[in-house]
């Protein structure tokens, strides 16, 4: 069965409402790699509902996390904000300078990501960590962690293999300047944590308010219990031996809550460029990706891949290949044959599961409004006007009557993609008006005869794809050349290389006079 289905069935063994969670730190622009965690969790949530479980999906934003350094996209003025919670510092303006009029740093980077999530069919319950701490909901968890700090310290040191500083405390208070950095805990009297900061200022933080937070490993475990989380997929950095997950499970039990089962996913990385990283700039943004291809294709990219397998992503040919697979499944969904070998049954069930989870709205028909991505890419380049594209799609039977709004959006995105540097060169099409001299000089007499004969056949045939294809095949059969050589020759004459879109489709989209004149230009 599909991996999300399998996870849902495992969760059915836990009583009560299933709470599926994912989380993120809004320290910079989000990239498409972040979508793997979000979509992995959301697909498990959908699968839980499909098998009749009560399920909710929450998205935890670690807005209480500090700014750790001045990233390349920030001005040096942010040096003054290092160590302060992202929810408490100003957003960067166009030049990377702090601008309080733009709201908080956390909201600044979160807002466009939420727009991308909505476009891809994800609408989680939003949980802002700074609001959770400020509301006092964490008070009980913080007090419990402090009372059991020796046990928690032993768990972290024994499992992670690293020795904690002698001043380690399961609560980090904010100092006099609003920063976590350089603050030493002096003692605890519920509800106050007493401290001294690096400036020598002494103070106290109220654990019922947003005046501090627990360290990551303790915070993660505590929020499992606070929100009743039963499933939270995590990246392989957190899932590595001795990592956050391995310490989080026993810490959660120490705090009195049965943790979610460890569930780890592999990263999405840029093909040939390694793992994506916001701080290094090695990224492709989710909105950027969604401006290229339909959101169903991005969902399918995640849905079709097992959690433990990494994904090589690029905005070029790989997207066409993923779209091809999605379109094949949409037009001809596999049938689960119970008499077939087990391997084939599993493959069919997995493919159907991926297709189902790729839809923006649960239960939506994947076969609706399907114009193959390759075909749309070809039309967007050969036909300059949108109306010409719609007329062509009506003639070819891809649509009936007026195009839908979603198809109009797809064409706009396709034109933007073609105009960008992301569009793969091997899919760029420019119809020649004259056979290039570099090709002409190498033509044999047999090749010239074939091209001239093809011009005669095309001038005489009905201008429809079936008739053009028949004329093309007849001319090939009458030639001394092999069909493979003929096809290659037509492509070279048309677009200057030896392969491309289906040649009869390509010729159909061109004016007859242009084709005839081109082939006669030898």
Domain-terminating residue out of 427, 456, 472? 427
User: How far is it, in rounded angstroms, from Cα 164 to Cα 186?
Assistant: 17
Contact yes or no for 255/225 (Cβ under 8 A): yes
Q: Give the CATH number of the domain where residue 476 resides.
A: 1.10.10.350
SS3 56: strand
C-alpha span between 65 and 54 (Å, rounded): 31
Domain finish residue from 409, 427, 445: 427
How many domains are contained in the chain?
2
Judge whether 406 lies within some domain.
Answer: yes
How large is the average pLDDT for residues 294-308? 93
Residues 418 and 441 placed together within one structural domain of the fold: no
* Cα 257 to Cα 313: distance, rounded to the nearest angstrom: 38
Q: What is the rounded average pLDDT of the residues 200-226?
A: 98
For residue 404, tell me if it sits in a domain: yes
Altogether, the residues listed in the chain come to a count of 522
What mean pLDDT is predicted for residues 423-435?
Answer: 91
Q: What 3-state DSSP class applies to 380?
A: helix
> In this structure, is residue 508 part of a structural domain?
yes
509 and 443, same domain (yes or no):
yes
For residues 358-377, average pLDDT: 85
Structure-block tokens of residue 460: 């005489």
In-domain check, residue 253: no
- Full-model pTM: 0.89
DSSP string, 208-231: TTTSEE--HHHHHHHHHHHHT--B
Question: For residue 341, is pLDDT > 50?
Answer: yes
> In the prediction, which pLDDT does 368 show?
57
Domain-located, residue 382: yes
- pLDDT, tens digit, for every residue of 119-142? 999 999 999 999 999 999 999 999
CA 284 to chain centre: 9
Residue 240, in any domain of the structure: no
Confidence category of residue 325, pLDDT binned at 50, 70, 90: very high
User: pLDDT tens across 161-190, in order?
Assistant: 999 999 999 999 999 999 999 999 999 999
Asked whether 322 and 355 are in contact (CB, 8 A), the reply is no
Same domain, 409 and 469: no
Under DSSP, the state recorded for 396 is H
pLDDT at residue 280 in the model: 46
Q: Is 503 within the bounds of a domain? A: yes
**Same domain as 492, residue 421:** no
Q: Does residue 475 sit in the same domain as residue 422? A: no
CA distance 423 to 445: 37
Name the least confident of 105-109, 155-159, 251-255, 509-513. Answer: 509-513
Q: What is the average pLDDT across 414-441?
A: 89
456 and 421 fall within a common domain: no
Dihedral of alpha carbons 181, 99, 277, 120, sign: positive
- Judged by DSSP in three states, 129 sits in helix
CA atoms within 13 A on the CB side of 388: 12
Identify the band that residue 369 occupies on the pLDDT scale cut at 50, 70 and 90: low
pLDDT in tens, 5-28: 999 999 999 999 999 999 999 998
226-237, pLDDT tens digit by residue?
999 999 999 988
Residue ranges making up the domain that contains 492: 437-519
Work out the mean pLDDT of the chain and round it to a whole number. Answer: 92
410 falls within a domain? yes
8 A C-beta contact, residue 320 and residue 373: yes
**Whether residues 442 and 421 fall in one domain:** no
Q: What is the pLDDT of residues 256-300, one digit of tens each?
A: 999 999 999 998 877 655 555 544 444 566 777 888 888 999 999
Query: 442 and 422 in one domain?
Result: no
């Amino acid at each position: 069965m599909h991996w999300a289905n399998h996870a849902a069935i495992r969760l059915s063994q836990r009583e009560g409402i299933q709470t599926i969670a994912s989380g993120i730190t809004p320290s910079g622009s989000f990239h498409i790699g972040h979508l793997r965690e979000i979509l992995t969790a959301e697909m498990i949530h959908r699968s839980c509902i499909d098998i009749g479980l009560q399920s909710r999906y929450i998205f935890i934003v670690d807005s209480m996390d500090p700014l750790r350094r001045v990233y390349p996209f920030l001005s040096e003025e942010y040096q003054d904000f290092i160590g302060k919670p992202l929810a408490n510092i100003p957003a960067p303006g166009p030049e990377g300078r702090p601008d309080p009029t733009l709201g908080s740093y956390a909201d600044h980077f979160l807002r466009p990501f939420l727009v991308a999530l909505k476009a891809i069919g994800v609408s989680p319950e939003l949980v802002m960590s700074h609001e959770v701490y400020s509301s006092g909901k964490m008070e009980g968890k913080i007090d419990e962690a402090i009372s059991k700090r020796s046990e928690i310290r032993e768990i972290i040191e024994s499992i992670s293999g690293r020795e904690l500083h002698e001043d380690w405390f399961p609560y980090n208070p904010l100092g006099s300047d609003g920063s976590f950095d350089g603050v030493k805990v002096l003692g605890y009297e519920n509800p106050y944590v007493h401290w001294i900061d690096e400036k020598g200022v002494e103070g106290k933080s109220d654990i019922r308010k947003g005046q501090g937070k627990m360290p990551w490993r303790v915070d993660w475990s505590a929020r499992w219990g606070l929100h009743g989380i039963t499933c939270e997929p995590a990246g392989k950095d957190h899932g590595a031996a001795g990592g956050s997950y391995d310490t989080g499970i026993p810490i959660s039990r120490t705090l009195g809550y049965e943790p979610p089962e460890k569930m780890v996913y592999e990263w999405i990385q840029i093909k040939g460029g390694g793992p994506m990283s916001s701080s290094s700039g090695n990224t492709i943004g989710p909105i950027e990706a969604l401006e290229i291809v339909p959101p169903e294709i991005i969902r399918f990219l995640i849905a079709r891949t097992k959690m433990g397998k990494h994904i090589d992503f690029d905005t070029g040919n790989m997207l066409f290949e993923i779209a091809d697979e999605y379109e094949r499944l949409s037009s001809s969904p596999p049938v689960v044959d119970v008499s077939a070998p087990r391997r084939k049954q599993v493959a069919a069930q997995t493919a159907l599961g991926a297709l189902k989870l790729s839809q923006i709205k649960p239960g939506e028909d994947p076969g609706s409004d399907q114009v193959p991505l390759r075909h749309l890419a070809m039309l967007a380049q050969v036909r300059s006007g949108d109306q010409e594209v719609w007329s062509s799609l009506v003639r070819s039977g891809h649509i009936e009557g007026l195009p839908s709004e979603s198809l109009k959006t797809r064409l706009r995105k396709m034109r933007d993609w073609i105009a960008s540097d992301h569009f793969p060169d091997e899919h760029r099409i420019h119809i020649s008006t004259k056979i290039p001299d570099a090709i002409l000089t190498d033509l044999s007499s047999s090749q010239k005869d074939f091209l001239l004969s093809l011009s005669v056949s095309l001038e005489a045939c009905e201008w429809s794809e079936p008739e053009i294809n028949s004329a093309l095949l007849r001319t090939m059969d009458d030639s001394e050349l092999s069909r493979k050589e003929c096809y290659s020759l037509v492509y070279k004459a048309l677009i200057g290389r030896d392969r491309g879109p289906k040649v009869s489709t390509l010729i159909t989209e061109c004016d007859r006079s242009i084709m005839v004149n081109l082939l006669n230009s030898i």
